[in-house]
Amino acid sequence: MQTHELEFIVTNFVKYLKRNNITLETNLKAIKQIRIIGEIEKLIQQTTELKKNLSDADVSEKIGMIADVVKHILDDERVRKYLTEGQVNLIKKTLEDSETIETIVDMVEFIYDGSKDKVLKVLDNNEDGYVTTDEVLESCTCCGNKKIAKCWSKFFIKIICCGKNNSVKYENKEESIEI
């Protein structure tokens, strides 16, 4: 692993922990654990060499490599100022579920390959450059169940697109896709 890239990931991950008020006392429910893993994966996507090594790997190899990087980051002394041994062990246990990790990796890659902006442009009913959970809810008519649609809209905006305050801003590019 490239030392300068790992340093970049650790430094920015510590900033993430501070920004999100994740401390030694934070109860790390499953969703927070997934967000933490996703954040480290997003930081991996911002590297050069590490990202290239991952793109050259097959899926199972990629999952193992990402899990190794996440474990390495979690064991860094600077990160341990914000996470206890118990919290780290919870996250590492989540890493053992390859299906969960594969889903997180797929979501992060979805965000970084530009697909997100194309989908968001279609969902932006008022064309203001932001997509809200309400706009996603209005577009989610396939299931007919408002509770599921509402849950999906929040998951889509907050987890997949990393939005805050029930909305996400996207780059207003000219191309869009049909959904």
In this structure, the answer to whether residues 137 and 99 fall within a common structural domain is no
CA distances (Å), origin 58, targets 26, 43, 68, 93, 117? 35, 20, 15, 22, 26
Domain final position from 75, 90, 112: 112
Report residue 132 CA to chain centroid gap. 18
Number of structural domains (the chain) is 2
Residue 108 φ then ψ, to 5°: -65, -45
pLDDT tens digit sequence for 41-96: 889 888 888 888 877 887 778 888 888 999 999 999 999 999 999 999 999 988 88
Sequence-separated (6 or more) residues with CB below 8 Å from residue 12: 43
> Is the CB of residue 112 less than 8 Å from the CB of residue 48?
no
Query: What's the domain range around 158?
Result: 115-169
pLDDT tens digit sequence for 2-53: 789 999 999 999 999 999 999 999 999 887 888 898 889 889 888 888 888 8
In this structure, the answer to whether residues 82 and 136 fall within a common structural domain is no
176 part of a folded domain:
no
CA R_g for the chain: 17
